[in-house]
Amino acid sequence: MQTYRNTVDGNLAEPASRYEIFNPANGQSLGYAPESDEQEVDRAVHAALLAQKTWAKRSDGERRDITLKIAQILEDNSGYLAELLTREQGKPLSGPGSRFEMQACVGWTQVPASLELPPETVYEDDERKDTLHRVPLGVVAAVAPWNWPLMIAIWQIIPAIRMGNTVVLKPSEYTPIATLEMVRLISEALPPGVLNTVTGDGNIGSKLTHHPDISKIMFTGSEATGRHIVKASASNLAPITLELGGNDAAIVLPGTDIKRIANDLFWGAFLNMGQTCACIKRLYVQEDDYEAVMSELSAIASQMKIGDGMDESVLIGPLQNKMQFEKVRNLVSDARSAGCDVREFGEVPEQGYFLPITLVGNIMDGQRLVDEEQFGPALPIIRYRELDDAFESANRLDAGLGASLWTDRPEETIELATRLEAGTVWVNQHGAIHPMVPFGGNKASGYGVEFGIDGLKAVTQSRVISIKK
């Protein structure tokens, strides 16, 4: 059985120890992942620190060209990585699954390569000229999650190295293998030390984020871990970009044509089996439209095949790990015990972390499935009478990553959209991110943004050069 390895200073490191990774669809072993120790964290950070000065001296054009080479490597190896991702993470190859994730990896590499942050004249008169330059921060500690492990790792890696930083990446301990293979492949285009990995649980993540030579922390994951990272940053004063997930609300405005929006509503909620930070976790529907929404979503759900994502006909796979499987199952059980209308769809395989597609009606604010981010294929559908009540409900929780409005009159929704307390408010879509559009959370869903020009700025620091004429 293969043992995968970390990339440290351009070489594949011999693991201090290892642990086994299993396919969430069938329990089969995928091989062994390395488990780093404190010494390997030190070696990785030291390698990144030594490489950073030289990497930063490369011209902007050189770093752009190398980034484009990385995009080509991702494209050339997308089939291999997609299959490995499906076996490890569980998402299907087809539909909005592993091949889709690999397409996103390519796109989110090409776009930062195309962007520039040239010096900006911020003030000039007869006596002086002041220009603002964007320079690298140094070594970036990137901590990636298990739900979109390759795509989100690329979101962290590519802007950082594009702007002259070096990176030490820690993938989730649940999904390290595909990420380690991706880093091994793209490191062929990079000088040694520019991109390094360490692996393990939260203790290794903590050693990385506390490290005194870290100059920036990028983290996507839970709010609880995010709070620990904020405390860790006090030891090195590293600025942080935090994306801490959300309990996204969607509001269907009264009188909307439900049949027209039903398919987009469904995938807005059940993309990646609901294991997506910015997907619909709470659906608010005017009481007169409630039955139509339940009927249309039920019709779509009943057509979905649940199973091993290596089957090309499957669009709904397993949950990634036992912890998440048990959490979602318990939340649905709690709703059922409370007398909610629990409707389950799909024939679920006996083996693996599979759950049926679940719609839960007759549920209210305050119940666990509404108030706790489920991160799985169970959608609470909540009636409202007055639109103001729906906005109050949508904003009542601390989460504020995304939200959406659904309507037949999208041109009339700008004022309504500003009432939703979220980093992004979509209209007639949900989770529709784009590599040119800044993305980040409000409230307890984190701070800082990724993507586009603002995302590049987030991995740099400003330097003003003021010249007396």
So which residues are the catalytic ones? 243, 277
Q: 306: which DSSP letter? A: B
Residue with tokens 């729906």, as numbered in its chain? 390
- Pull the structure tokens for residue 297: 């979503």
Strand blocks (E) in 351-401: 357-361, 378-384, 399-400
Strand partners, 7: 12
CA distance 319 to 25: 8
Amino acid present at 244: L
Measured CA to CA in angstroms, residue 153 lies from 182, 259, 330, 346, 439 at distances of 10, 36, 30, 32, 15
Return all residues near 138 (Cβ < 8 A) that are at least 6 apart.
Answer: 49, 52, 165, 166, 213, 214, 215, 216
Contacts of 266 (CB under 8 A, 6+ apart): 297, 300, 301
Helix/strand/coil (H/E/C) assignment for every residue in 40-99: HHHHHHHHHHHHHHHHHHCCHHHHHHHHHHHHHHHHHCHHHHHHHHHHHHCCCCCCCCHH
Residue 230 and residue 246 in contact, taking contact as beta carbons nearer than 8 Å: no
